[in-house]
Structure 1
């Protein structure tokens, strides 16, 4: 069995410094319990993306992971701005939110309605009591605290209010950052681990590439451990991340096409067939910069010339379109949040095989470096 160990392994109680990124779109399809457990059982840390799940669904999935068997794992949630900060303090249901957007942002609303007609997508009916996701974030976090999940990750937003609650429950907290400034904010918030996520990554990401970002963050937040993210899908990238000063890696796209992932097969195949150039940055889906596989929605949004609405309003604006597309099986229109490294992936593998390749590949690189490079101090 290969050995690849850093202080992060001791902190989290894992064999290898490799974490499954907590990707939480499409009602948790990218990171179902069996994938989370498979990564943890293979020696890494599986992290469940739970943003699109109800509090009760999160509780059920946490307990499912613990049955497969009980190894360290984590839960990832987005912590967006409140509705009050977005100027919609009295809005509590999805129907109310759409009516408010239609009134305050008529051009944006008209764009979505026109695009739905152009794409032949039927309208979505809403009930008056359908709650907004942002109203249930605290309930979601409370489930993580109640269940004493070993690790909580804040995939977006300020986790400062969660940190003391997590400490009390014995939970480690991970914060994500796409810049040194954001990393320092995470450190000030008191997180235990910081993910430095480069521009190459899928999903919400910043504007700085992994190679320049990671060493800057490592230096800025020391001694807080740093994970590298963005463009990591084989052992060479793992070794490079460790050379940059990271204590481990946060891997997403490679696991999107894992056999244990519940991402729609059509979306997995699209990733495997795409070139790196096809994974583009768009603010169409959430209002924040996010990398996704190019599709008719990202192209239409770019042509529109509209400025994205502040989070969470942009997501509410686009929700009907995406729900209608999913119901109709139009998977090519969904938010396929994969990174540029997708261009290197050519086949589906088990989570165990992905982990083995990452670990063994990194060990081989580290072992072979002295045979390929001659060096000495000057």
Structure 2
């Protein structure tokens, strides 16, 4: 039995589960698999790189079996032209994260595309409501990858956003990797959950095999939030967002010394040289605090169904109690 929520009814999906549009790893095959499985697959276009989109969009179109799908952008890194090009492919939804979505909202809404805005603070949540978001994603600091430097934990943050945004449906994000987490999100008043790290550990994810193994073997206490790796690799992420990753040699060497690292070009060159020699992964291994719950590498399509079943079991068990 499928769980019906305001999110599933709005998007026409079977399960209240969405794929986080992770740049670099949520490619066409992964987004299509999540959509085929009954969730909302969101392609992680990042800054809207034309070459990447031209490669991944046909994969998504060919494999999603006519199911609803979407595309996500890093608001601080993209531009109006990239969003306009994506809208030409008629996605069901566009998700904007990290930065001011204002310049892109009307372009999305004018096409009738569902507008999903991710927020990491109450200030961002109020802005999302004012801009007329159709769905709001409330991301807690337990999430893997980037998030607010001074954000809130998922458990207290989600219900506050739910109350603030009502009747706009809210998806919970951050520290959710199984059906119990999805059930908890629903109990908090959310209309579903958006998962990232769990979907990185699937056969369709565009991650190196070593990264997938590291996620399966990782523990929540192995993760930490920092700007170190963004600085070391020359990433232009705004300073108000840090990234949660698994352990890394540069984190050990430069923890708490971000300003010093930013002023040390020789250290950043050493990072690039170590990547070239294969001594450190080419990309940080983004992972959330729920990484302990990930023990296998299934197909994402099968995973969506398994998560939905776990969610129903968890809700039923809680009801009996």
TM-score of the two chains, using structure 1 as the length reference: 0.76
- Contact residue 275 and residue 281 of structure 2 kept, 8 A: no
The answer to whether residue 287 in structure 2 is matched with residue 338 in structure 1 is yes
Q: Which SS does the other structure have where 2:71 is aligned?
A: strand
Q: Which residue of 2 aligns with 1:352?
A: 301
- 1:298 Cα deviation after fit: 2.2
Q: Which residue of 1 aligns with 2:233?
A: none
The answer to whether residue 107 in structure 2 is matched with residue 165 in structure 1 is yes
Deviations 1:252-284 (A, max 9, x none): 000011111120011111111221111100112
Q: C-alpha separation between the residues in 1 aligned to 2:146 and 2:308?
A: 26
Larger Rg: 1
Change (3 A) 1:359 1:321: farther
- Contact residue 201 and residue 231 of structure 1 kept, 8 A: yes
Q: C-alpha separation between the residues in 1 aligned to 2:286 and 2:194?
A: 15
Q: Which SS does the other structure have where 2:251 is aligned?
A: helix
Q: C-alpha separation between the residues in 2 aligned to 1:11 and 1:317?
A: 51
Q: C-alpha separation between the residues in 1 aligned to 2:15 and 2:215?
A: 26
Q: Which residue of 1 aligns with 2:29?
A: 34
Q: C-alpha separation between the residues in 1 aligned to 2:221 and 2:8?
A: 34
Change (3 A) 1:260 1:318: farther
TM-score of the two chains, using structure 2 as the length reference: 0.88
- Contact residue 84 and residue 107 of structure 2 kept, 8 A: no
Which of 211, 216, 221 does residue 155 from structure 2 map onto?
211
Change (3 A) 1:222 1:73: same
Q: C-alpha separation between the residues in 2 aligned to 1:147 and 1:42?
A: 21
Deviations 1:276-329 (A, max 9, x none): 1111001121332111112012233325351787xxxxxx99987766555443
The answer to whether residue 73 in structure 2 is matched with residue 77 in structure 1 is yes
Q: Which SS does the other structure have where 1:289 is aligned?
A: strand
Q: Which SS does the other structure have where 2:310 is aligned?
A: helix
- 1:175 Cα deviation after fit: 1.0
- 1:218 Cα deviation after fit: 0.4
The answer to whether residue 60 in structure 2 is matched with residue 62 in structure 1 is no
Where does structure 2 lack aligned partners over 5 or more consecutive residues? 231-236
Q: C-alpha separation between the residues in 2 aligned to 1:328 and 1:70?
A: 43
Q: C-alpha separation between the residues in 2 aligned to 1:196 and 1:317?
A: 38
Q: C-alpha separation between the residues in 1 aligned to 2:87 and 2:266?
A: 31
Aligned residue pairs total 308
Q: C-alpha separation between the residues in 1 aligned to 2:160 and 2:257?
A: 36
- 1:350 Cα deviation after fit: 1.3
5 Å-filtered alignment, 1:1-378, equals 2-24=1-23, 28=24, 30-51=25-46, 54-68=49-63, 69-80=65-76, 134=77, 137-206=79-148, 207-284=151-228, 285=230, 286=237, 287=239, 288-306=241-259, 325-332=274-281, 334-371=283-320, 373=321
Q: Which residue of 1 aligns with 2:234?
A: none
Where does structure 1 lack aligned partners over 5 or more consecutive residues? 81-133, 310-315, 374-378
Change (3 A) 1:4 1:320: farther
Deviations 1:178-234 (A, max 9, x none): 122211111112221111111100111232111000000001111111000011111
- 1:15 Cα deviation after fit: 0.8
- Contact residue 72 and residue 150 of structure 1 kept, 8 A: yes
